[in-house]
DNA sequence: CTTGGAAAGTCAACATAGCTGACATAAAAT
DNA sequence: ATTTTATGTCAGCTATGTTGACTTTCCAAG
């Protein structure tokens, strides 16, 4: 019973589509996203890394052994931009780059122990905020939150997102 | 670890607080936010502006006459950073900076006709995506979406957010 | 009325992280 | 044998954030 058939109800049921409601949603995204990145950003300052390193570490953790190309697609940046980040992570011993067994052109990325430790520190902070928000809003709100975000994604990315590990339900 | 004290209910009602659920939420935020900014970013390329200009224009539109300090608080950047952006907007005739009547130190910011036109173009695009997502997810999901985002914000900002114009309910 | 502080603006220098373009190497695919 | 793919790299540019120092204007409190 997501969208349903509009027009049936006088318009009250479409109040969530008014200009003002949409603008509030836009602002909510902006403010919430800023808070969402603030905690890991603070931690990253202590090391010599930035948000770009965090993102790389996040996805390598989520999908150990993923190739550089796959990571590129998920991050949506150029290989030159990713390479700068990836190089320092490999040099610093946080990420291991293994030559593919079937296709030796590919590099498969894995977190080392050290990388996994930083990943944990970062995601602990980020999950703490997410958990507090989830707890405050309740399960039904969380389901709606996820539905709207998913609907907002570009279709190609949505497929990637949906195919990623999810032990729920 | 993930959930707090799951002793009360078997754990089923806290499924939304598992580590995996939280990680999916984190990814959803990342992917959705990228999509959310993509449309205006494309438009801004045609002019010589960036995302920072968009944000300034957005808030000036939302709260005409707001002071530089207020805008600074909402954007969460330094005055030097904002000034660079604001200067070009004023020079290009998109924003008007009026000396305060009561306190002549203050500058009150307004969009000009030209500024309002660009604002409309940008927000039309952004609202179109938001509207599509809202429509796909339905009113209940939208309410949950807003609840979770609001709970995620830093308290100071949440107050600003809540006090902003909202013609709903 | 003087003085201290607030609001705004500016200059300079720097960091992060994106981009394009050009090019190199190795390996797979045709 | 040739072309394409996956990766890596160099160089240079842009946008947007940061600190720190300093100025001007003006309000407000002593």
Question: Which B positions 99-118 lie with beta carbon below 8 A of chain A?
Answer: none
Residue located via tokens 């930035």? A50
Residue located via tokens 């935020």? B29
A123/B161 touch (CB, cutoff 8 Å), yes or no = no
- Calpha distance A147→B133 (Å, rounded): 8
Q: Give me the mean pLDDT over the A122-132 stretch.
A: 97
* Distance from residue B157's CA to nucleotide C8's C1', rounded to whole Å: 23
- Calpha distance B11→B1 (Å, rounded): 13
**Among the listed residues A40, A29, A135, A122, the one whose alpha carbon sits nearest the alpha carbon of residue B14:** A135
Say what the pLDDT of residue B84 is: 97
**Among the listed residues B25, B10, B27, the one whose alpha carbon sits nearest the alpha carbon of residue A137:** B25
Q: State what percent of residues in chain A have pLDDT above 90.
A: 87
- Calpha distance B120→B112 (Å, rounded): 12
Residue pLDDT tens, chain B, 169 long: 444 444 445 455 788 899 999 999 999 999 999 999 999 999 999 999 999 999 999 999 999 999 999 999 999 999 999 999 999 999 999 999 999 999 999 999 999 999 999 999 999 999 999 999 999 999 999 999 999 999 999 999 999 999 987 744 4
Nearest neighbour of B145 by CB, restricted to A144, A153, A165:
A144
Say what the pLDDT of residue B4 is: 42
- Calpha distance B99→B105 (Å, rounded): 7
**What are the backbone dihedrals phi and psi of residue B107, each rounded to the nearest 5 degrees, phi first?**
-115, 130
- Calpha distance A59→B160 (Å, rounded): 33
pTM attached to this predicted model = 0.91
Say what the pLDDT of residue A164 is: 87
Q: Which of A3-17, A30-44, B69-83 has the lowest mean pLDDT?
A: A3-17
B145 contacts B137 by C-beta, under 8 angstroms: yes
Residue located via tokens 């809003």? A137
Residues 6 or more apart whose CB falls under 8 angstroms from that of B102 comprise none
Residues of B whose CB is below 8 A from A137: 144, 147-148, 151
- Calpha distance A119→A8 (Å, rounded): 49
B168/A18 touch (CB, cutoff 8 Å), yes or no = yes
Nearest neighbour of B31 by CB, restricted to A23, A34, A153:
A153
Decide if pLDDT at A107 tops 90.
yes
A4 contacts B138 by C-beta, under 8 angstroms: yes
Give A11's pLDDT tier (boundaries 50, 70, 90): low
B3 contacts B14 by C-beta, under 8 angstroms: yes
On whether any CB of chain A is under 8 Å from the CB of B1, the answer is: no
- Calpha distance B24→B152 (Å, rounded): 15
Nearest neighbour of B152 by CB, restricted to A4, A35, A55:
A35
Decide if pLDDT at A169 tops 50.
no
B103 touches strand D (CB under 7 A): yes
Give me the A residues in range 76-135 that sit within 7 A (CB) of strand C. Answer: 76-78, 80-82, 85, 102-105
- Calpha distance A142→B109 (Å, rounded): 37
B97 touches strand C (CB under 7 A): yes
Is the alpha carbon torsion for B61, B64, B69, B73 positive or negative? negative
Q: Which two tokens stand for residue B129?
A: 């995506």
On whether any CB of chain B is under 8 Å from the CB of A80, the answer is: no
Question: Which B positions 122-141 lie with beta carbon below 8 A of chain A?
Answer: 123, 126-127, 129-141
Give A165's pLDDT tier (boundaries 50, 70, 90): confident
Compute the C-alpha angle B45/B48/B52, nearest 5°: 85
Compute the C-alpha angle B109/B113/B115, nearest 5°: 60
Residue-wise pLDDT for A58-83, tens only, equals 999 999 999 999 999 999 999 999 99
User: What is the rounded (10 degree) CA torsion for B15, B19, B24, B30?
Assistant: 140
A154 contacts B35 by C-beta, under 8 angstroms: yes
Q: State what percent of residues in chain A have pLDDT above 70.
A: 91
B126 CB-contact burial (10 Å; exposed 0-12 / middle 13-18 / buried 19+): buried
A48 touches strand C (CB under 7 A): yes
The rounded mean pLDDT for chain A is: 92
- Calpha distance B79→B155 (Å, rounded): 22
Closest residue, CA to C1' of C12: B80
Residue-wise pLDDT for A77-103, tens only, equals 999 999 999 999 999 999 999 999 999
Residues 6 or more apart whose CB falls under 8 angstroms from that of A90 comprise A96, A97
Decide if pLDDT at A151 tops 50.
yes
B137 contacts A15 by C-beta, under 8 angstroms: no
Compute the C-alpha angle B143/B168/B134, nearest 5°: 40
Locate the DSSP E strands across B30-150: 66-67, 95-99, 107-111
On whether any CB of chain B is under 8 Å from the CB of A8, the answer is: no
- Calpha distance B83→B123 (Å, rounded): 23
Residues of B whose CB is below 8 A from A62: 23, 27
Say what the pLDDT of residue B38 is: 97
């Amino acid at each position: 019973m997501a969208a349903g058939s509009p027009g049936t109800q006088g318009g009250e049921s479409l109040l969530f589509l008014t200009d003002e409601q949409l603008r509030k949603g836009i602002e909510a995204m902006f403010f919430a996203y800023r808070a969402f990145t603030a905690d890991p950003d603070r931690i990253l300052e202590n090391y010599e890394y930035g948000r770009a390193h965090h993102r790389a570490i996040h996805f390598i953790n989520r999908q150990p052994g993923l190739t550089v190309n796959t990571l590129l697609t998920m991050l949506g940046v150029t290989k030159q931009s990713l390479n700068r980040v990836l190089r320092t992570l490999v040099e610093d011993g946080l990420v291991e780059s293994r030559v593919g067994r079937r296709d030796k052109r590919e590099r498969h990325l894995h977190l080392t122990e050290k990388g996994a430790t930083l990943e944990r520190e970062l995601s602990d902070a980020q999950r703490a905020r997410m958990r507090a928000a989830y707890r405050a809003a309740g399960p039904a709100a969380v389901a709606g939150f996820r539905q709207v975000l998913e609907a907002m994604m570009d279709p190609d990315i949505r497929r990637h997102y949906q195919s990623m590990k999810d032990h729920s339900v």
